[in-house]
Amino acid sequence: MKKIQDYRFITQLLCTILLSISAFLNFKIVALIILVSTILSGVFFCGWICPFGFVQDTMDHIGTAFGIKKRKMSKSLHKFLRLIRYILAALVILSKEMKNV
């Protein structure tokens, strides 16, 4: 099982680097690729390719290494933050679109 986690970490790292570089080259194409790959691969994308998953896993490893305890989030805060992520995604996409107009 550890070997699969290592492969996943390497895959996430490579995809994060590629996404970071390509986002500066052509944001529209990158956004379209992310959207299509998310729809087609679903959970696989979130677990193996998504750069946000990579950052989350990295922070989890760092927290575990320093002995930081995990805390439970209240349901109301979780619902609020879940809504905010979609609003932030829309704002990022719209800000890039407005910049190109």
Residue 78, pLDDT above cutoff 60: yes
The answer to whether residues 41 and 16 belong to one domain is yes
Give the pLDDT mean for 55-63: 84
The answer to whether residues 58 and 82 belong to one domain is no
Helix 27-41 with 75-100: angle, nearest 10 deg: 140
Residue 95, pLDDT above cutoff 70: yes
Residue 77, pLDDT above cutoff 90: yes
Poorest-pLDDT segment among 15-19, 78-82, 90-94, 95-99:
95-99
∠ CA 44-50-56, nearest 5°, is 110
Can you give the residue range of the structural domain that contains 77?
Answer: 71-101
d(CA 24, CA 1): 35
The answer to whether residues 63 and 93 belong to one domain is no
The answer to whether residues 81 and 94 belong to one domain is yes
Q: Which is nearest to 32 in space by CA: 43, 44, 19?
A: 19
Residue 97, pLDDT above cutoff 70: no
Residue 101, pLDDT above cutoff 60: no
The answer to whether residues 34 and 76 belong to one domain is no
Q: What is the mean pLDDT of the chain?
A: 79
∠ CA 60-19-55, nearest 5°, is 5
The answer to whether residues 35 and 80 belong to one domain is no
pLDDT digits (tens, 9 = 90+) for 20-50: 777 677 777 777 777 777 777 766 766 677 7
Number of domains in the chain: 2
d(CA 91, CA 98): 10
The answer to whether residues 44 and 79 belong to one domain is no
